[in-house]
Structure 1
Amino acid sequence: MQDFCKHISNHSGANPTVIPRGQEDFRYVSQLLEVDGSHHPYRHLLFSTWLFDDVGQIFTYPVNTDVISVNGEVKNVNSEVVVGHKCFAFLKAGKSLAQISRETGKSRCYLKRLALLNKLSVNLKPKLLTQEVVNAICSLAYAGFHRREIAKRCGVGIGTVEQTISSKTGLVERRQKCHFESSRRKNRLFLLRYIADHPDSIRNDIKKQCCSVFFWLYLNDRQWLDEHLPKPRIARGRY
């Protein structure tokens, strides 16, 4: 820390927040190393000029890409992949969820979802989430029902509904498409009703009175919008 302070001794003190308070301000360095820390970028640059003799070394310094940060927790990517393969192998071998959970540290929910995604049978004795309930959830989800309504009809939690939906291939994309179609129908109908109730409105009036609807259609359904908006009026001169 003393060497770093000597290195920046000629630095301007106009902004005291970017330089250490003194030679014993070790918090200055620890803050820069925090995973989710938020500090002035100049502090990182200032410290880097002391660590590296050449600026080019900063950009060519090898970085360990196998380590990532997830919600502030540093994890090793390779180890996560290995654990995932190990869980899959245990499930395929027919081991119980409790035993796999003890050996790998993964939750039962993670293991059940992994089994569903890979179409592996798991020896379970569910009290609520029976195969009949799963089929009902998928059927309602495919029809476009809201998660809350599906949970209410099937007598399960919203989290269970979301997990079941995400485990079925193509169902999430299907629901996204249904949501888009529903939004498009709603916005189209709203605009047509406004035009029918205000036949003398010009485009600028519609844009002001139906702002959110107008711009949603402009971004997602522009051809239909151009076809149903009133034709632009030709400007008339004063004489």
Structure 2
Amino acid sequence: MKSLEPLAHESIYSWVVRYHLQIGVGHEKNTYRQLFNYEKIRIHPYLPNHVQCLDKLGGNTADVWLEDHTLYPLFKFFGHDLNNKLKQAMLTHTGNTVSAANIAQSRLCFEYGHKYCPVCLKEHLEQTGIPRYDIRYQIPGMTVCPRHNCELNIIKCGDIGLDRRLTFPKSFAVIPTFNPLLIIFAQFCMDVFAITKQLPCDPLLLHRLYWHHLEKRNLVTLGKQLRMSLLVLELDNFYQGFAFTAGLESLSSFHFLGPLLRYRAHKPSHPIKHLIFAFWLFDKDASLFQSEQDSQPQQVECSEQIQAKPDETGIIAMLRKGLSMAHIEKITGKSRCYIRRLSEINGIEHKSNLQAFSNRIRVMVILKAKLGWHRKAIAEALNVGLGYVEQVISNTKNLVLWRKKLHELKNINAALKELRRAKVLHPSWLRKDFKAQHNKAFFYLYRHDRELLESTLPVKTKPHVLRHDWSMEDERLSQAISNLAPDDNMSLTAIAQLVHDRGHLKRKLDHLPKTKALLIELGKVAKPPQKNTSR
């Protein structure tokens, strides 16, 4: 196979397009088959699959392709590949890379396509004779080129866009931008991307770096709580005039700050959320990401060294040693509700406001919860708080599952009564009538007890097949063709399109004798040969 070296900062799709135009032969599927052993592939702009197939091509290993020609370093740095699922999905063709990166849950509506700066592309084309897509411009949320102060163009992908075609843009429309904040933000994104290639992934360390700078800005209380209202106000003032467009509209409220800064959520936030927050926090200086090694706090003293994120066994061991919930929370980062739940499920005594009520009240709450009482009804009957009832229910082993099953059985019984009552009132109803008129009850039984649903519904009836009325269609088409009065140069396809034949003139002409005779008379259809009856 001939070799083609990738250009600096070139995306994988751009390299495949150049390979197809310079080395490939024939249709795009031939190039796909030669490179990836598949004829039909859609290459994602920044998280592509099948990277392992490019190993040793262009003088690069698969890891070099990932690091230098995709956005994998950016997503890895912000904690999207702690279990190597994203890397595995990108190297192979097993799994969706967007799902593996866990960014689908972000609900950000970015345009799906290949972005490019028209001025950069034109300059590169004039200097080298070869265009390219820059992987840095594919960073989600980046909308302008910091070099030429113009908006990035995009070639849409998917069914309504490129689909599987391999091509470079044909237009170089330049739309200048006069928003200095957007230009500086674009340069910040590119600088962060360059830094992420050099730093290891440590979400806990990154979280501590954020808090270290928030404390410098006096946005953290003495009790280590965020001053969230002040934080949102400062960000809102900072981003006045910033265009939250092109998929960023939902971020203008800054509701993403809570999950991003509270590490207990243990779910990665989309890189664009980190970039928007860090752009303000670091005062537009991307190099502060490199100072994270200096922001590590002193280790919490303990009788035994415990890992930063121990499992349930480690927390239970600490509880048995008599460590306080506050101490365990500092070591593990787990919430006190979670620690208290483990304590009560495993029968470990603890000192908490939860045990302010007597054991008799606790037993009564459990008994009423097992009988299916609502939480509010239990709280009112025993004169306790709703929060106490919820804590007792969640901290009692298997009680939540018991109540879920009880609730399911209750709903099944209600749905069954509803369908049986409808069957008595409407004995002539078909199965589709039950589904239409009692949709909720029908589908609840369908999901939870299909056998019970089948025994309740009437017997299935055979579907009535409607026969096509070819005589009426024959009359319509023959009349339409007569009114059309086609000339000798008009083809059968043109006639079919004008009379809206629904494909019948070519595929069902034998069912249309009158129309067929008219077309034979007009010379649009060959006259069938007569059978020779002579011996």
The answer to whether the 8 Å contact 1:187/1:213 transfers is yes
Compare CA radii of gyration and give the structure with the larger one.
2
Q: Measure, in 2, the Cα distance between the counterparts of 1:62 and 1:123.
A: 41
What amino acid maps onto 2:146 in structure 1? G
Aligned to 1:195: 423
Distance 1:18 1:170 in 2: 48
Is 1:170 aligned with 2:398?
A: yes
Alpha-carbon deviation of 1:102? Answer: 5.8
**Residue 134 (structure 1) shift:** 1.0
> How far apart, in 2, do the equivalents of 1:91 and 1:203 lie?
58
Find out whether 1:28 has 2:186 as its counterpart. yes
Distance 2:451 2:460 in 1: 15
Give the conservation status (yes or no) of the 8 Å contact 1:115–1:121.
yes
Aligned to 1:101: 326
How big is the shift at 1:230? 1.2
CA distance in 1, matches of 2:395, 2:373: 17
Residue matched to 1:224: 452
Change (3 A) 1:88 1:155: same
Inter-CA distance 94–103: structure 2 relative to 1 (3 Å threshold): closer
Match of 2:433 in 1: 205
Q: Deviations over 1:174-201 (max 9, x none)?
A: 1111011011000001100111111122
| 2:264 is the counterpart of 1:140 | no
Query: Take 2:203 and 2:362, find their aligned partners in 1: how far apart are those partners?
Result: 39
Partner secondary structure for residue 347 of structure 2: coil
Deviations for 1:48-68, whole angstroms, at most 9, x for unmatched residues? 9xx88xxxxxxxx97558789
Deviation at 1:224, TM superposition (A): 1.4
Question: TM-score w.r.t. structure 1 length?
Answer: 0.66
In the alignment, the residues of structure 2 paired with residue 224 and residue 103 of structure 1 have an alpha-carbon distance, to the nearest angstrom, of: 50
* TM-superposed deviation, 1:154: 2.0
Distance 2:405 2:376 in 1: 18
Q: Over residues 80-111 of structure 1, what are the superposed CA-to-partner deviations in whole Å (9 max), with x where a residue is unaligned?
A: 428994x645542446x5xx526754776455
The unaligned stretches of length 5 or more in structure 1 are 35-46, 53-60
Q: Is the 8 A contact 1:68 1:74 kept in 2?
A: no
1:185 aligns with 2:393: no
Deviation, structure 1 residue 21: 4.3
Please name the residue that 1:56 is paired with: none
**What displacement does 1:215 show?**
1.6
d(CA) in 1 for partners of 2:465 and 2:316?
Answer: 76
TM-score (normalizing by structure 2): 0.32
C-alpha deviation, 1:114, in angstroms: 3.3
Contact 1:68 1:75 in 2 (8 A): no
SS at match of 1:160: helix
Within the alignment, does 1:81 sit opposite 2:310 as a pair?
Answer: yes
Whole-angstrom CA distance in 2 between matches of 1:33 and 1:158: 50
Q: 1:72 to 1:225 in 2, by over 3 A?
A: same
- CA gap of 1:111–1:222, structure 2 versus 1, over 3 A, is closer
- Mapped to 1, the partners of 2:191 and 2:456 lie a distance apart of 57
Q: Structure 2: any 5+ residue segments left out of the alignment? A: 1-7, 10-115, 122-131, 134-140, 148-179, 208-257, 267-306, 467-535
Letter in 2 for 1:140: K
Query: Aligned in 2, Cα 1:29/1:151: closer, same or farther, shift over 3 Å?
Result: farther
Partners of 2:378 and 2:319 lie apart in 1 by 29
| Alignment counterpart, residue 71 of structure 1, candidates 244, 252, 259 | 259
| C-alpha displacement of 1:235 | 6.0
Aligned length: 206
CA RMSD after TM alignment: 4.4
1:131 aligned to 351, 359, 381, which one? Answer: 359
Is the contact between residue 146 and residue 186 of structure 2 (CA under 8 Å) also seen in structure 1?
A: no
| Between 216-225 and 118-127, the greater mean CA deviation after superposition | 118-127
Is the CA contact (8 Å cut-off) linking 1:88 and 1:114 kept in structure 2? yes
Query: Is residue 113 from structure 1 mapped to residue 341 from structure 2 by the alignment?
Result: yes
Q: Is the 8 A contact 1:67 1:74 kept in 2?
A: no
What one-letter code is carried by the residue in structure 1 that aligns with 2:377? E
